Amino acid sequence: MLKAVACKNNLEDSAEFYSYIEDLLETEPVKMMMDFPHHGHSSCFQHCLNVSYSNYRICKFFHLDAKSGARAGLLHDLFLYDWHKYVAVRGQRLHGFTHAALALRNAEIHYELNDLERDIIKKHMFPLNVSAIPKYKETAVIVFTDKYCGALEVLAHNFRFVPKFVNLFRKKEIA
């Protein structure tokens, strides 16, 4: 069962969203992300799934390219190492400055990407990477959702009340 932060639904039940990422979920590079910790107790895979679903929902709401947003969201951190143990070799920049380019390179090796997906993956760390200014509205969406999901993952790891707090912002179900 696939779940996302701040979402109580099984993501496999969202037929449109699932159809956009289903082929990626079956691939070895995406499965490998499950082996690397990311924020709090979240794996890199779980974080990317959270971002993917948030991108999909926001892009759909604003009538943007929800498919590219979902697919690029799942691949945006495809760097395939534990960044907590990352040791910068002399002359290399820190993980936060370099992983977007590495994720894009890995994604291009393993998957066919469109220009929008490339831009989303490459520029998701704006404004940390100041020169990576988003070209598309969908890229601006991931800039927000990546930070939002990362913050929720860290908070959920450090404060047990956060999942209940997040529920306050969901639409109330009508009985």
pLDDT at 53: 93
Q: 3-state class of 38 per DSSP? A: coil
pLDDT level of residue 167 (50, 70, 90 thresholds) = very low
Tell me: the pLDDT tens digits for 41-74?
A: 678 888 899 899 999 999 999 999 999 999 999 9
Task: Give phi and psi for 43, each to the nearest 5.
Answer: -80, 165
Is the pLDDT score of 35 beyond 90? no
Tens digits of residue pLDDT in 128-150: 666 777 789 999 999 999 888 88
C-alpha 15/C-alpha 37 separation (Å) is 28
- Domains located in the chain, CATH noted: 11-167 (1.10.3210.10)
Nearest in space to 20 (alpha carbons), one of 67, 59, 53:
67
- Output the furthest CA–CA distance in the chain (Å, rounded): 60
List the one residue out of 93, 39, 51 whose CA is nearest residue 75.
51
The count of residues in the chain is 175
**In sequence order, what are the residues at sequence separation of 6 or more whose Cβ sits closer than 8 angstroms to the Cβ of residue 76?**
48, 51, 100, 103, 120, 121, 124, 142, 146
The chain-wide mean pLDDT, for the chain, equals 78
